[in-house]
Amino acid sequence: MSPHTPRTHRSRARRSWLRRAATAGAAAGALAGLVASAPGAAAAPPAPLRSAPATHVGPAHVSPAPVRTAALAAPDIPLANVKAHLSSLQSIATANNGNRAHGRPGFKASVDYVKGKLDAAGFTTTLQQFTSSGSTGYNLIADWPGGDTGTVLMAGAHLDSVSAGAGINDNGSGSAAVLETALAVSRAALHPTKHLRFAWWGAEELGLIGSKYYVNNLPPAERSKISGYLNFDMIGSPNPGYFVYDDDPTIERTFKDYFAGLGVPTEIETEGDGRSDHAPFKNAGVPVGGLFTGAGYTKTSAQAQKWGGTAGQAFDRCYHSSCDTASNINDTALDRNSDAIAHAVWTLGTETAQPGTVFETTTDVPIPDNGAAVTSALEVTGRTGNAPSALRVSVDIKHTWRGDLSVDLLAPDGTAYPLKAAGGPDSSDDVIATYSVNASGEVANGSWKLRVQDVAAQDTGYIDSWKLTF
């Protein structure tokens, strides 16, 4: 991860985890198996609850929109294979003065190693050259045949190290996991709906030079074809955290749902904002997301309680130093994150779309802190018969502590369908998610409402928007 680009992340108002742990007690709650994309989601919805009708009504608009259908399940990414790539990168560094830095022979040898694996697996590889600090640099781009070339999903990692060491966590870990995911695509003979492109960037440690060069030299028409860029920079830190980028809601939810299925809590990534190769894509308007296990920041007691490891110690004590070797890796974190990468590539790269009709409201509704429930309404008209058995409910709620919130869908007759309970390991902010409920017993037309209640003090928010997809 580059140290040269300043952080640009917005500040976040949230209480300390220790205060939350003291007051939350045994509060429980989950998505009740309603998140359609979560691993292991329950097929049947919970029994509806009767509830009094809500009062707030907001304007709505109707539009046709795609409904995402189930994507193919990703294979398990063998940890042994990822570790074998790291061993090869360590050997390359050892044979080349201990590093794989830009302009040094160790970096070019690293590029050749990755390219050889991809060429043998049937990828079309391109070596893009640029110049930085008086030396030739390289980006390696690998395209998998097939998929809609008008809609490109990219996944990438920087391949260079700092000059001080081998750079095995930073960023052999991301590079090896992306490589093994690409090789898994080949082994599966995957037929994605989107065109898949993988990338390994050069000179990231000098200020994102390689990825900036790639983005800046893409014609606007080609840049507009990139539906998302997934970035993986340091995913095997020895004292790991589990951080998810919050830049694009769909990509963010894809990763969060995966870790939720493992029972692993996540936090929003802030340490690396603007400091890795997603930044040039984001600045060009491309949706971005990614994973991170921490660098020089110190793990708190609350984080150690959630994830294990050592409080008061950096996530990676060898960040940008000579001890970032093959022994500087947490295998559990590397394994989980490698599988999460594959899950995202398969989920986002193989999903299909069917036509649907969307009813949406964008009227803001403030949520009282530790107060009464509020509601936002949609008027559904022009439908015939009942609602579908898989009614999609997409919500965007801005809030500084999502664990305080309970969220329900209210049918026109007042029946309540729980979407999200308050409490549980829900320590981040905002509720940006899509749920699926069996509303086939409800008449489609009428006033549908989203009900939200903040059940604890000291945090604020509002309903930003929500929609129903029939």
Distance of CA 144 to the CA centre of its chain: 22
pLDDT for the residue 9: 35
User: For residue 406, what pLDDT band results from cuts at 50, 70 and 90?
Assistant: very high
pLDDT reading at 222 higher than 80? yes
Question: What average pLDDT does the segment 30-41 reach?
Answer: 31
Instruction: Read off the pTM.
Output: 0.66
In the chain, pLDDT over 70 holds for what percent of residues?
Answer: 83
pLDDT reading at 259 higher than 60? yes
Of 110-114, 298-302, 394-398, 427-431, least confident by mean pLDDT is 427-431
Question: What average pLDDT does the segment 232-250 reach?
Answer: 95
171 preceded by a cis bond (ω within 30 of 0): yes
| Alpha-helical segments (H) within 263-330 | 278-283, 301-307
User: For residue 308, what pLDDT band results from cuts at 50, 70 and 90?
Assistant: very high
Interaxial angle between packed helices 105-120 and 174-187, expressed in degrees from 0 to 180 and rounded to the nearest 10: 20
Question: What average pLDDT does the segment 427-434 reach?
Answer: 77
Residues 6 or more apart whose Cβ sits within 8 Å of residue 410: 51, 53, 54, 375, 416, 417, 448, 449, 450, 451
Distance of CA 276 to the CA centre of its chain: 15
Question: What average pLDDT does the segment 341-350 reach?
Answer: 96
Cα 144 to Cα 267: distance, rounded to the nearest angstrom: 32
Dump pLDDT digits (tens) for 353-392.
Answer: 555 688 999 999 999 999 999 999 999 998 888 988 778 8
Of 31-40, 85-94, 261-270, 282-291, least confident by mean pLDDT is 31-40
pLDDT for the residue 11: 33
Nearest to 175 by CA among 283, 273, 83: 83
Q: Using CA of residue 365, residue 368, residue 370, residue 371, what is the dihedral sign?
A: negative
Residues 6 or more apart whose Cβ sits within 8 Å of residue 414: 50, 51, 52, 53
- Per the model's pLDDT, the better-predicted residue between 247 and 123 turns out to be 123
Dump pLDDT digits (tens) for 122-139.
Answer: 999 999 999 999 999 999
pLDDT for the residue 384: 82
Cα 60 to Cα 470: distance, rounded to the nearest angstrom: 15
271 included as an active-site residue? no
pLDDT for the residue 52: 33
Average confidence score pLDDT of the chain: 86
Q: Which of 204, 205, 267, 442 is catalytic?
A: 204
Of 280-284, 357-361, 366-370, 433-437, least confident by mean pLDDT is 433-437
Q: Coil, strand, or helix at residue 5?
A: coil
Question: What average pLDDT does the segment 456-461 reach?
Answer: 91
